[in-house]
Amino acid sequence: MKGHIRTKQKCVCGAKFTEILGTGIVCLSCHKVPTRFFVDIPWHGQRIKIYCDQRGIPLDTYMRANNQLAAIRYEIANHAFDPSRYVKSDVEQFRFEIVVQKWIKGKNRDVEKGKMSPGGLHPLRSRFTNYIIPYFTGRDIRDIRTSHLKEFYHQLPDRLSSRTHKHILEDLRNFLNDCYRDEIISKSPLIPTITVEEPPIKWCRREVQDKILAEIPKEDQAIFFFLTRQGVRPSEGCLLQWGDIDFENQILNINRTYSRDQIMERPKSKKSRPRLIHPEIFNMLKDVQHGFPKAYVFLNPRTGNTYRLRTIDAIWKRAADKSGVDISLYQATRHSVASMAASAGISLKVIQKFLGHTSMTSTNKYADLDVSAQQIIFNVDTNNCPRLVPKLVRMCKKQQ
């Protein structure tokens, strides 16, 4: 069998230690035993000396060293032996928290290069810091299995929503998949799948939009009128420049957005797509079109600078409260424009192009709002309606 247990120590009496196979290593003169051992393994023409187990614990007893030798022999027989698992410096670099730190640094560089938004990095780092790293700290990432991920999922706090659970597991999946692609791990373990029921989309019709618009100060109404008709994201409307508008073809392009209050010189979808301008919006913009392409279309009259998201959110909330309507700016603009189109039977493919979604996944949430085809049910056999209606009225009066 390959391998031997050895020690570099000498007995205090000056004699050498002697191994008694299967029993231990002892000084035959004074019967003392060493306190440090190593496993000596011939491997591909070299000798590998292993001083600790896979957890980094030193081989401080003969029994621990003997158990480690048996485990290594088993790995060799099954073609699974990896010396780096037993070299302390190599073991450290595979600690879960060490690998995650390097991965997060890579994400920071992606933000600097514009490949990732600050708004995406912040919650990612928070979920790793608060939930993922504390659970897996100290573990060798190469030893994490599907069963460990199930255990991790089941111990997540119940106070967190199912959507938060899903985000945490998706972050962990992306991290492990990257480790697999980088050949840090030989196989990416399976992550538990969570199905989150999407809540109904909250939206309103045009008359409600206009009711709230009437409560907005006149000097601020232009940007909100634009958002209620054009259906772009509020952050995209804040950063629209005159150079983004093609008046000849009545088209605008979304080229920038906010991410954690930082201006990103690219849209959220990372690709600018032409949008047809709403006729009312086109007439409004044409009357005040600016000659400077880099100038912003909508400016906050109080500061002379672009609107900030928190500013327009606050203005809209005050106006909605005055109107007695509980609906956020995003729901009343982008969601409502898409929902009105879907309820009128407009193709989801057309809505996808209009909203600038990169895939149908984001657009499909409006699918259930297409009730236009149900109108045919109310058109079937209406001959009895005149007789039924008076009867229903009499029934209601009797109940009163």
Taking only the tens place, the pLDDT of each residue in 339-375 is 888 887 888 888 888 777 777 776 777 766 665 655 5
210 & 348 share domain: yes
216 and 302 share one domain:
yes
CA dihedral angle for residue 334, residue 336, residue 342, residue 347, rounded to 10 degrees: -20
Mean pLDDT of 199-206: 86
Residues 82 and 166 in one domain: no
* Domain match, 121 and 176 both: yes
Q: Are residues 216 and 238 in the same domain?
A: yes
How far apart (Å, rounded) are the C-alpha atoms in residues 224 and 238?
Answer: 10
Partner residues linked to 296 by β-bridges: 241
| Domain shared by 219 and 342, yes or no | yes
**Between residues 371 and 116, the one the model is more confident about:** 116
Burial code (b: 16+ CB inside 10 Å, e: under 16) for 202-223 equals ebbeeebbebbbebbeeebebb
- Residue 187 within a domain: no
Residues 176 and 277 occupy one common structural domain? no
Q: Where is the domain boundary, 89, 118, 140?
A: 89
Please give the structure tokens belonging to residue 352.
Answer: 């996808």
| Whether 82 and 100 share a structural domain | no
Cα angle value 282/288/289 (rounded, 5°): 75
CA separation for the pair 297, 253 (Å, rounded): 13
CATH number for the domain that contains residue 288:
1.10.443.10
Tokens of 385: 């309606």
- Residue 388 is predicted with a pLDDT of 46
- Collapsing DSSP to helix, strand or coil, 245 comes out as strand
Residue 132: which of 179, 182, 189, 173 has the closest Cα? 173
Distance CA 338, CA 230 (A): 10
Alpha carbon 229 to its chain's center: 30
**230 and 298, same structural domain?**
yes
Does the pLDDT value for residue 331 go beyond 60?
A: yes
Whether 192 is in a domain gets the answer no
- How much is the pLDDT for 324? 94
- At 376 the pLDDT is 58
Kindly list the distances between the CA atom of residue 310 and the CA atoms of 7, 261, 317, 324, 328, in Å, as whole numbers in the listed order: 68, 9, 10, 21, 12
Is pLDDT of 104 > 80?
yes
84 lies in the same domain as 154: no
Q: Sheet holding 38-43: strands in order across?
A: 4-6, 38-43, 46-50
Quote the CA–CA distance of 342 and 11 in Å, as a whole number.
Answer: 86
Closest to 349 in 3D by CA, of 366, 334, 335: 366
Residue-wise pLDDT for 271-295, tens only, equals: 677 888 999 999 888 888 776 888 9
Q: What is the mean pLDDT of residues 176-194?
A: 88
Has residue 397 been placed in a domain?
no
9-61 per-position pLDDT tens digit: 888 888 888 888 778 899 888 888 998 898 998 888 888 888 887 777 788 88
On whether residue 398 sits in a domain, the answer given is no
**CA–CA distance, 90 with 222 (Å, rounded to integer):** 61
Instruction: Please identify, among 89, 110, 125, the residue that sits at the C-terminal boundary of a domain.
Output: 89
Whole-number average pLDDT of the chain:
84
Q: 225: pLDDT confidence band, cut at 50, 70 and 90?
A: very high
- pLDDT for 373: 56
pLDDT at 367: 67
Distance separating alpha carbons of residues 90 and 141, to the nearest angstrom = 12
**Range of 72's domain?**
4-89
Is residue 79 very low, low, confident or very high in pLDDT (cuts 50, 70, 90)? confident
User: Is there a single domain that holds both residue 149 and residue 275?
Assistant: no
Number of domain units in the chain: 3
For residue 198, is it within any domain?
no
199-to-5, 196, 320, 366, 371 alpha-carbon distances in Å: 63, 9, 22, 11, 18
Confidence bin at 315 (pLDDT 50/70/90): very high
**169 has pLDDT over 80:** yes
**Residue 83 predicted with pLDDT over 70:** yes
pLDDT for the residue numbered 166: 93
Q: Is the pLDDT of residue 400 over 70?
A: no
CA pair distance 205, 119, nearest whole angstrom: 30
Return the top range by mean pLDDT from 5-9, 16-20, 310-314. Answer: 310-314
pLDDT of residue 345: 81
Phi, psi torsion values for 345, nearest 5 degrees? 90, 10
pLDDT, residue 88, reads 61
Select from 131, 165, 181 the last residue of a domain.
Answer: 181
Predicted pLDDT at 60: 87
Task: Report if residue 386 sits inside a domain.
Answer: no
Q: Do 224 and 348 have their domain in common?
A: yes
pTM (2 d.p.):
0.61
Report the CATH number that the domain containing residue 107 is assigned in CATH.
Answer: 1.10.150
Higher-pLDDT residue of 91 and 335 is: 335
Give residue 335's identity as a one-letter amino acid code.
H
- Is pLDDT above 90 for 156? yes
Residue 261 placed within a domain: yes
Which tops the pLDDT comparison, 383 or 242?
A: 242
Could you give the CA distance from residue 121 to residue 114 in angstroms, rounded to a whole number?
12
In a domain, 104, yes or no: yes
